[in-house]
Structure 1
Protein backbone atom coordinates (compact mmCIF):
# COMPACT_ATOMS: atom_id res chain seq x y z
CA UNK A 1 0.00 0.00 0.00
CA UNK A 2 2.80 2.43 0.84
CA UNK A 3 4.31 1.75 -2.60
CA UNK A 4 1.12 3.01 -4.26
CA UNK A 5 0.94 6.02 -1.95
CA UNK A 6 4.54 6.93 -2.80
CA UNK A 7 3.81 6.52 -6.52
CA UNK A 8 0.72 8.73 -6.21
CA UNK A 9 2.45 11.46 -4.19
CA UNK A 10 5.46 11.30 -6.49
CA UNK A 11 3.22 11.86 -9.51
CA UNK A 12 1.33 14.72 -7.84
CA UNK A 13 4.19 16.68 -6.30
CA UNK A 14 7.69 15.40 -7.02
CA UNK A 15 7.27 14.48 -10.69
CA UNK A 16 4.57 17.05 -11.46
CA UNK A 17 4.46 17.21 -15.24
CA UNK A 18 3.76 20.93 -15.39
CA UNK A 19 5.94 22.31 -12.63
CA UNK A 20 8.93 19.94 -12.62
CA UNK A 21 8.96 18.50 -16.13
CA UNK A 22 7.50 21.59 -17.85
CA UNK A 23 5.07 19.68 -20.09
CA UNK A 24 1.53 20.71 -20.96
CA UNK A 25 2.21 24.43 -20.68
CA UNK A 26 -0.14 25.51 -23.49
CA UNK A 27 -3.28 24.60 -21.54
CA UNK A 28 -1.60 25.61 -18.28
CA UNK A 29 -1.10 29.22 -19.39
CA UNK A 30 -4.17 29.44 -21.60
CA UNK A 31 -6.85 28.26 -19.17
CA UNK A 32 -5.37 29.45 -15.88
CA UNK A 33 -6.84 32.95 -16.26
CA UNK A 34 -10.11 31.76 -14.69
CA UNK A 35 -10.37 29.63 -11.55
CA UNK A 36 -13.58 27.83 -12.51
CA UNK A 37 -12.32 26.98 -15.99
CA UNK A 38 -9.03 25.77 -14.48
CA UNK A 39 -10.72 23.50 -11.96
CA UNK A 40 -12.90 22.02 -14.68
CA UNK A 41 -9.94 21.59 -17.03
CA UNK A 42 -7.97 19.90 -14.27
CA UNK A 43 -10.80 17.40 -13.77
CA UNK A 44 -11.11 16.85 -17.52
CA UNK A 45 -7.38 16.25 -18.00
CA UNK A 46 -7.34 13.91 -14.99
CA UNK A 47 -10.23 11.89 -16.43
CA UNK A 48 -8.68 11.70 -19.91
CA UNK A 49 -5.23 10.75 -18.56
CA UNK A 50 -6.65 8.06 -16.29
CA UNK A 51 -9.03 6.51 -18.83
CA UNK A 52 -6.55 6.64 -21.68
CA UNK A 53 -3.85 5.11 -19.49
CA UNK A 54 -6.11 2.21 -18.55
CA UNK A 55 -7.07 1.47 -22.14
CA UNK A 56 -3.54 2.10 -23.40
CA UNK A 57 -2.14 -0.40 -20.91
CA UNK A 58 -4.75 -3.00 -21.90
CA UNK A 59 -4.21 -2.49 -25.63
CA UNK A 60 -0.44 -2.56 -25.24
CA UNK A 61 -0.28 -5.70 -23.11
CA UNK A 62 -3.10 -7.69 -24.75
CA UNK A 63 -2.87 -6.62 -28.40
CA UNK A 64 0.36 -4.87 -29.35
CA UNK A 65 2.83 -7.05 -27.42
CA UNK A 66 1.31 -10.45 -28.37
CA UNK A 67 1.09 -9.43 -32.05
CA UNK A 68 4.59 -7.91 -31.91
CA UNK A 69 3.24 -4.51 -33.02
CA UNK A 70 4.86 -2.45 -30.27
CA UNK A 71 6.25 -0.10 -32.92
CA UNK A 72 2.67 1.21 -33.24
CA UNK A 73 2.43 2.15 -29.55
CA UNK A 74 2.56 5.92 -30.00
CA UNK A 75 0.09 5.95 -32.90
CA UNK A 76 -2.38 3.72 -31.07
CA UNK A 77 -2.09 5.81 -27.89
CA UNK A 78 -2.72 9.03 -29.83
CA UNK A 79 -5.85 7.50 -31.38
CA UNK A 80 -7.12 6.37 -27.97
CA UNK A 81 -6.54 9.82 -26.47
CA UNK A 82 -8.20 11.58 -29.40
CA UNK A 83 -11.23 9.30 -28.98
CA UNK A 84 -11.54 10.13 -25.29
CA UNK A 85 -11.21 13.85 -25.94
CA UNK A 86 -13.92 13.74 -28.60
CA UNK A 87 -16.18 11.87 -26.20
CA UNK A 88 -15.42 14.40 -23.45
CA UNK A 89 -16.16 17.31 -25.78
CA UNK A 90 -19.54 15.86 -26.74
CA UNK A 91 -20.50 15.31 -23.09
CA UNK A 92 -19.33 18.75 -21.94
CA UNK A 93 -20.98 20.51 -24.88
CA UNK A 94 -24.30 18.79 -24.19
CA UNK A 95 -24.43 19.01 -20.39
CA UNK A 96 -22.37 22.13 -19.52
CA UNK A 97 -22.32 24.52 -22.48
CA UNK A 98 -20.98 27.40 -20.33
CA UNK A 99 -17.91 25.35 -19.41
CA UNK A 100 -17.52 24.37 -23.06
CA UNK A 101 -17.47 28.06 -24.05
CA UNK A 102 -14.98 28.92 -21.26
CA UNK A 103 -12.55 26.21 -22.36
CA UNK A 104 -12.82 27.05 -26.04
CA UNK A 105 -10.05 25.59 -28.17
CA UNK A 106 -8.16 24.35 -25.11
CA UNK A 107 -10.57 21.43 -24.74
CA UNK A 108 -9.46 20.02 -28.08
CA UNK A 109 -5.83 20.74 -27.20
CA UNK A 110 -6.07 18.03 -24.52
CA UNK A 111 -5.75 15.52 -27.36
CA UNK A 112 -2.37 16.95 -28.37
CA UNK A 113 -1.18 17.69 -24.84
CA UNK A 114 2.16 15.99 -24.24
CA UNK A 115 1.21 15.17 -20.63
CA UNK A 116 -1.80 13.16 -21.75
CA UNK A 117 0.37 11.15 -24.15
CA UNK A 118 3.43 11.05 -21.90
CA UNK A 119 1.75 9.35 -18.95
CA UNK A 120 0.61 6.19 -20.82
CA UNK A 121 3.99 5.99 -22.55
CA UNK A 122 5.84 6.29 -19.23
CA UNK A 123 3.54 3.67 -17.70
CA UNK A 124 4.34 1.20 -20.49
CA UNK A 125 8.06 1.98 -20.57
CA UNK A 126 8.31 1.67 -16.79
CA UNK A 127 6.62 -1.74 -17.06
CA UNK A 128 4.01 -0.76 -14.47
CA UNK A 129 1.22 -3.15 -13.63
CA UNK A 130 -2.33 -2.05 -14.43
CA UNK A 131 -2.85 -0.93 -10.83
CA UNK A 132 0.37 1.10 -10.81
CA UNK A 133 -0.52 2.60 -14.19
CA UNK A 134 -3.87 3.74 -12.83
CA UNK A 135 -2.30 5.22 -9.69
CA UNK A 136 0.42 7.00 -11.69
CA UNK A 137 -2.09 8.31 -14.24
CA UNK A 138 -4.53 9.54 -11.61
CA UNK A 139 -1.69 11.12 -9.62
CA UNK A 140 -0.35 12.83 -12.74
CA UNK A 141 -3.82 14.19 -13.48
CA UNK A 142 -4.23 15.42 -9.92
CA UNK A 143 -0.80 17.03 -10.16
CA UNK A 144 -1.82 18.79 -13.37
CA UNK A 145 -5.07 19.93 -11.74
CA UNK A 146 -3.20 21.16 -8.66
CA UNK A 147 -0.75 23.14 -10.78
CA UNK A 148 -3.41 24.78 -12.95
CA UNK A 149 -5.65 25.63 -9.97
CA UNK A 150 -2.71 27.14 -8.05
CA UNK A 151 -1.80 29.19 -11.10
CA UNK A 152 -5.39 30.35 -11.61
CA UNK A 153 -5.64 31.36 -7.95
CA UNK A 154 -2.49 33.46 -8.21
CA UNK A 155 -3.57 35.05 -11.49
CA UNK A 156 -6.99 35.96 -10.15
CA UNK A 157 -5.40 37.61 -7.10
CA UNK A 158 -3.08 39.56 -9.40
CA UNK A 159 -6.06 41.19 -11.11
CA UNK A 160 -6.39 43.31 -7.98
CA UNK A 161 -2.66 44.03 -7.75
CA UNK A 162 -0.75 46.91 -9.26
CA UNK A 163 1.33 44.98 -11.83
CA UNK A 164 3.72 47.00 -14.00
CA UNK A 165 2.50 47.37 -17.60
CA UNK A 166 5.56 45.59 -18.98
CA UNK A 167 4.76 42.45 -16.93
CA UNK A 168 0.98 42.47 -17.30
CA UNK A 169 -0.47 39.26 -18.76
CA UNK A 170 1.93 36.47 -19.68
CA UNK A 171 4.98 38.23 -18.23
CA UNK A 172 3.78 37.97 -14.67
CA UNK A 173 2.31 34.51 -15.42
CA UNK A 174 5.78 33.25 -16.34
CA UNK A 175 7.20 34.68 -13.11
CA UNK A 176 4.45 32.99 -11.07
CA UNK A 177 5.02 29.71 -12.90
CA UNK A 178 8.72 29.94 -12.15
CA UNK A 179 8.08 30.52 -8.46
CA UNK A 180 5.63 27.61 -8.34
CA UNK A 181 8.14 25.40 -10.15
CA UNK A 182 10.86 26.32 -7.66
CA UNK A 183 8.59 25.45 -4.76
CA UNK A 184 7.70 22.07 -6.31
CA UNK A 185 11.34 21.32 -7.10
CA UNK A 186 12.02 21.71 -3.41
CA UNK A 187 10.04 18.49 -2.81
CA UNK A 188 12.31 16.47 -5.12
CA UNK A 189 14.93 15.90 -2.43
CA UNK A 190 12.46 14.65 0.19
CA UNK A 191 12.05 11.04 -1.01
CA UNK A 192 15.14 8.97 -1.61
Structure 2
Protein backbone atom coordinates (compact mmCIF):
# COMPACT_ATOMS: atom_id res chain seq x y z
CA UNK A 1 0.00 0.00 0.00
CA UNK A 2 1.31 3.43 -0.89
CA UNK A 3 1.99 5.57 2.16
CA UNK A 4 2.28 8.69 -0.01
CA UNK A 5 -0.99 8.06 -1.85
CA UNK A 6 -2.94 7.78 1.41
CA UNK A 7 -1.94 11.28 2.54
CA UNK A 8 -4.34 14.11 1.80
CA UNK A 9 -3.33 17.34 0.06
CA UNK A 10 -4.28 20.48 1.95
CA UNK A 11 -5.47 23.35 -0.24
CA UNK A 12 -3.98 26.73 0.79
CA UNK A 13 -5.95 29.98 0.81
CA UNK A 14 -6.30 31.73 -2.57
CA UNK A 15 -6.09 28.34 -4.36
CA UNK A 16 -9.15 26.75 -5.97
CA UNK A 17 -9.32 23.15 -7.17
CA UNK A 18 -12.00 21.94 -9.60
CA UNK A 19 -12.68 18.40 -10.73
CA UNK A 20 -14.18 17.63 -14.16
CA UNK A 21 -14.24 13.86 -14.45
CA UNK A 22 -10.59 12.80 -14.41
CA UNK A 23 -9.36 16.33 -15.20
CA UNK A 24 -8.11 18.38 -12.24
CA UNK A 25 -7.90 22.19 -12.58
CA UNK A 26 -5.81 24.07 -10.01
CA UNK A 27 -5.98 27.88 -9.98
CA UNK A 28 -3.91 30.14 -7.73
CA UNK A 29 -2.11 33.48 -7.52
CA UNK A 30 0.75 32.30 -9.78
CA UNK A 31 -1.50 30.89 -12.54
CA UNK A 32 -3.49 27.84 -13.64
CA UNK A 33 -2.43 24.21 -14.07
CA UNK A 34 -4.39 21.20 -15.33
CA UNK A 35 -3.70 17.47 -15.30
CA UNK A 36 -5.67 14.43 -16.36
CA UNK A 37 -5.51 11.67 -13.75
CA UNK A 38 -5.25 8.01 -14.82
CA UNK A 39 -8.53 6.08 -14.98
CA UNK A 40 -7.43 3.90 -12.04
CA UNK A 41 -7.31 6.87 -9.66
CA UNK A 42 -10.40 8.48 -8.07
CA UNK A 43 -10.12 12.02 -6.73
CA UNK A 44 -12.43 13.65 -4.18
CA UNK A 45 -12.32 17.21 -2.88
CA UNK A 46 -13.53 18.12 0.62
CA UNK A 47 -14.55 21.78 0.27
CA UNK A 48 -15.26 22.28 4.01
CA UNK A 49 -11.84 21.12 5.23
CA UNK A 50 -10.05 22.22 2.00
CA UNK A 51 -8.42 18.84 1.36
CA UNK A 52 -7.94 16.57 -1.66
CA UNK A 53 -8.12 12.79 -1.25
CA UNK A 54 -7.08 10.13 -3.77
CA UNK A 55 -8.20 6.51 -3.91
CA UNK A 56 -7.41 3.55 -6.14
CA UNK A 57 -10.25 2.43 -8.40
CA UNK A 58 -8.75 -1.02 -8.98
CA UNK A 59 -6.38 -3.22 -7.02
CA UNK A 60 -3.58 -4.09 -9.44
CA UNK A 61 0.10 -3.27 -9.80
CA UNK A 62 -0.36 -0.40 -12.24
CA UNK A 63 -2.99 1.28 -10.08
CA UNK A 64 -0.69 0.90 -7.08
CA UNK A 65 2.20 2.49 -8.97
CA UNK A 66 0.09 5.41 -10.20
CA UNK A 67 -1.52 6.01 -6.78
CA UNK A 68 1.44 7.65 -5.04
CA UNK A 69 2.63 9.29 -8.28
CA UNK A 70 -0.73 10.99 -8.86
CA UNK A 71 -0.83 12.29 -5.29
CA UNK A 72 2.69 13.73 -5.60
CA UNK A 73 1.93 15.36 -8.97
CA UNK A 74 -1.24 16.96 -7.58
CA UNK A 75 0.64 18.17 -4.51
CA UNK A 76 3.30 19.71 -6.76
CA UNK A 77 0.59 21.47 -8.77
CA UNK A 78 -0.98 22.98 -5.64
CA UNK A 79 2.42 24.16 -4.38
CA UNK A 80 3.31 25.51 -7.83
CA UNK A 81 0.27 27.75 -8.19
CA UNK A 82 0.50 29.02 -4.60
CA UNK A 83 4.25 29.60 -3.97
CA UNK A 84 5.99 28.34 -7.12
CA UNK A 85 9.17 26.29 -7.53
CA UNK A 86 12.74 27.46 -7.91
CA UNK A 87 16.21 26.00 -8.37
CA UNK A 88 19.42 27.90 -7.70
CA UNK A 89 22.66 27.18 -9.53
CA UNK A 90 26.17 28.40 -8.75
CA UNK A 91 28.98 28.80 -11.26
CA UNK A 92 32.57 28.16 -10.14
CA UNK A 93 35.63 28.78 -12.30
CA UNK A 94 37.78 31.63 -13.53
CA UNK A 95 36.09 33.48 -16.40
CA UNK A 96 32.85 31.47 -16.16
CA UNK A 97 29.79 33.72 -16.04
CA UNK A 98 26.13 33.99 -16.92
CA UNK A 99 24.07 36.89 -18.24
CA UNK A 100 20.61 37.51 -19.58
CA UNK A 101 19.94 38.48 -23.19
CA UNK A 102 16.32 39.57 -23.03
CA UNK A 103 14.64 36.52 -21.51
CA UNK A 104 17.27 34.04 -22.73
CA UNK A 105 20.32 32.92 -20.75
CA UNK A 106 23.84 33.30 -22.16
CA UNK A 107 26.61 31.24 -20.52
CA UNK A 108 30.32 31.88 -21.01
CA UNK A 109 31.80 28.60 -19.82
CA UNK A 110 35.26 28.45 -21.39
CA UNK A 111 34.13 27.18 -24.77
CA UNK A 112 35.09 28.95 -28.00
CA UNK A 113 31.57 30.38 -28.15
CA UNK A 114 28.96 31.55 -25.63
CA UNK A 115 26.16 29.05 -25.01
CA UNK A 116 22.70 30.60 -25.49
CA UNK A 117 19.82 28.82 -23.78
CA UNK A 118 16.28 29.72 -24.81
CA UNK A 119 14.07 29.98 -21.72
CA UNK A 120 10.71 28.15 -21.92
CA UNK A 121 7.75 30.57 -21.85
CA UNK A 122 6.43 29.35 -18.48
CA UNK A 123 9.74 29.93 -16.65
CA UNK A 124 11.62 32.97 -15.42
CA UNK A 125 15.40 32.96 -15.18
CA UNK A 126 17.18 35.55 -13.09
CA UNK A 127 20.90 36.22 -12.70
CA UNK A 128 21.64 37.92 -9.35
CA UNK A 129 25.36 38.20 -10.11
CA UNK A 130 27.43 36.57 -12.88
CA UNK A 131 27.88 33.37 -10.84
CA UNK A 132 24.35 32.79 -9.46
CA UNK A 133 21.37 31.68 -11.56
CA UNK A 134 17.81 31.15 -10.31
CA UNK A 135 15.22 29.25 -12.37
CA UNK A 136 11.64 29.63 -11.16
CA UNK A 137 8.18 28.67 -12.37
CA UNK A 138 4.91 26.91 -11.54
CA UNK A 139 5.63 23.41 -12.85
CA UNK A 140 8.23 21.50 -10.85
CA UNK A 141 9.13 19.16 -13.72
CA UNK A 142 9.88 21.99 -16.15
CA UNK A 143 11.89 23.96 -13.56
CA UNK A 144 13.99 20.89 -12.73
CA UNK A 145 14.47 19.92 -16.37
CA UNK A 146 15.66 23.39 -17.44
CA UNK A 147 17.99 23.62 -14.41
CA UNK A 148 19.44 20.22 -15.39
CA UNK A 149 20.00 21.46 -18.97
CA UNK A 150 21.87 24.49 -17.63
CA UNK A 151 23.99 22.27 -15.38
CA UNK A 152 24.74 19.93 -18.31
CA UNK A 153 26.51 22.75 -20.19
CA UNK A 154 29.49 22.36 -17.82
CA UNK A 155 28.90 19.89 -14.94
CA UNK A 156 31.19 20.29 -11.91
CA UNK A 157 34.42 18.37 -12.27
CA UNK A 158 35.88 16.46 -9.31
CA UNK A 159 39.45 17.82 -9.31
CA UNK A 160 38.97 21.58 -8.97
CA UNK A 161 35.18 21.77 -8.60
CA UNK A 162 34.81 24.04 -11.63
CA UNK A 163 31.49 24.09 -13.48
CA UNK A 164 27.80 24.66 -12.78
CA UNK A 165 26.37 23.02 -9.65
CA UNK A 166 23.10 23.22 -7.75
CA UNK A 167 23.15 25.47 -4.68
CA UNK A 168 23.43 22.76 -2.02
CA UNK A 169 25.09 20.09 -4.19
CA UNK A 170 28.04 18.33 -2.61
CA UNK A 171 30.83 17.74 -5.10
CA UNK A 172 33.07 14.83 -4.16
CA UNK A 173 36.61 15.97 -4.73
CA UNK A 174 39.44 13.72 -5.88
CA UNK A 175 43.11 14.03 -5.09
CA UNK A 176 45.24 15.25 -7.98
CA UNK A 177 48.36 13.67 -9.38
CA UNK A 178 51.28 13.03 -7.06
CA UNK A 179 54.86 13.60 -8.16
CA UNK A 180 57.34 10.77 -8.75
CA UNK A 181 59.82 10.00 -6.01
Scaled by the length of structure 2, the TM-score of the pair is: 0.23
Question: Which structure ranks higher in relative contact order (CA pairs < 8 Å, sequence separation ≥ 6)?
Answer: 1
Return the structure number with greater helix share: 1
- TM-score scaled to structure 1, two decimals? 0.22
